[in-house]
Amino acid sequence: MSRKKIAAANWKMNLSYTEASTLLDQLLEVCPTNAINKIICAPFPYLHLCSEKIAGRIDFSVGAQDCSAHAKGAYTGETSAAMITSCGASYVIVGHSERRTYHRESSEHLLGKIHQAFSANLNVIFCIGEVLAQRKAGEHKDVVVNQLLEVLSGLGKEHISKLTLAYEPVWAIGTGETATPEQAQEMHAIIRNQMNAMFGDEGGQVAILYGGSCNAKNAKELFACNDVDGGLIGGASLIADDFATITTSF
Ligand code: PGA
């Protein structure tokens, strides 16, 4: 069984409704139909629009950037996993470092979100990665292994087919400083071994994306690494031609 190849766009809190609509039209035009799964992670208010636009392109999916850890009810401002599904999206990012940092999301809270996502039949892109001080202190390997253990130990094997991982060294996100292919491969191999230890062969087959200043210029050398199955792309996903180049860099 070969692992999925994925180019995921994380639009973050960018683009007006009209700009998002135009960008998606451009992406559908310039990204060739191929075996690479292209996932557009858009802001909540654009999920339905994006889902309607990608209909007919089986190589495209739509995702949200977060979901609530609660199923429904009096949680003003929250968006449930079921709401995301009802807008036609099939993926959700959980545990992005910007959420962990700015919203102090704990491992327990992240596990709650993942359970809600699976209950609503969403696929999860779970993000892990160390900050610069941890890498400088030589703690980066332990940090990501602990992030996997703390959250994913709460899952059963039956969930693994709906899980994708994204290794995003926090020092590389939005900074223009990318991990070298050697650094990325080293971490991805550690993550894959850990998944294997936790979930057996199926765990080892989970797609692991690299994220952090991945762009049209460096995607090819990153995706050439044995254990890198694609990318989670922030800044470069806002430029249609750049994202298209990334989707053909496998
Ligand atoms: P970046 O963001 O590509 O702009 O570094 C990646 C991410 O945060 O997912």
Question: Which H/E stretch holds residue 230?
Answer: strand 230-233
What's the pLDDT score for residue 1? Answer: 62
For 8-19, the pLDDT digits (tens) are 999 999 999 999
For 192-241, the pLDDT digits (tens) are 999 999 999 999 999 999 999 999 999 999 999 999 999 999 999 999 99
Among the listed residues 228, 239, 238, 235, the one whose alpha carbon sits nearest the alpha carbon of residue 249: 228
Q: Does residue 112 line the site of ligand 1, with CB under 6 A?
A: no
How far apart CA 32 and CA 229 sit, in angstroms, is 18
How far apart CA 46 and CA 92 sit, in angstroms, is 14
How far apart CA 233 and CA 109 sit, in angstroms, is 24
Q: Does residue 203 line the site of ligand 1, with CB under 6 A?
A: no
The pLDDT of residue 132 is above 70: yes
What average pLDDT does range 111-129 have in this prediction?
98
Q: Which of the following is catalytic: 98, 105, 130, 168?
A: 168
Ligand 1 pocket mutation, candidates 177, 210, 222, 232, criterion most atoms within 8 A of CB: 232
Active site residue 109: no
What average pLDDT does range 156-171 have in this prediction?
96
The pLDDT of residue 69 is above 90: yes
Q: Does residue 174 line the site of ligand 1, with CB under 6 A?
A: yes
Q: Does residue 129 line the site of ligand 1, with CB under 6 A?
A: no
- Whole-number average pLDDT of the chain: 97
What's the pLDDT score for residue 55? Answer: 96
What's the pLDDT score for residue 196? Answer: 97
Say how many Å lie between the CA of residue 125 and the centre of ligand 1.
14
User: What does pTM read for this prediction?
Assistant: 0.98
Q: How many CB atoms sit inside 10 A of residue 247's CB?
A: 25
Cα-Cα-Cα-Cα torsion 84, 86, 88, 93, nearest 10 degrees, comes to 20
Say how many Å lie between the CA of residue 200 and the centre of ligand 1.
30
Per-position b or e across 112-143, b if 16+ CB within 10 A of its CB: bbbbbbbebebbbbbbbbbbeebbeeeebbeb
The pLDDT of residue 109 is above 90: yes
The pLDDT of residue 110 is above 80: yes
Residue nearest to atom 1 of ligand 1 (CA): 234
Size of the chain in residues: 250
What's the pLDDT score for residue 2? Answer: 83
In the chain, what percentage of residues exceed pLDDT 90? Answer: 98
What average pLDDT does range 51-77 have in this prediction?
98
Say how many Å lie between the CA of residue 217 and the centre of ligand 1.
15
Active site residue 168: yes
Say how many Å lie between the CA of residue 213 and the centre of ligand 1.
6
In the chain, what percentage of residues exceed pLDDT 70? Answer: 100
What average pLDDT does range 42-67 have in this prediction?
98
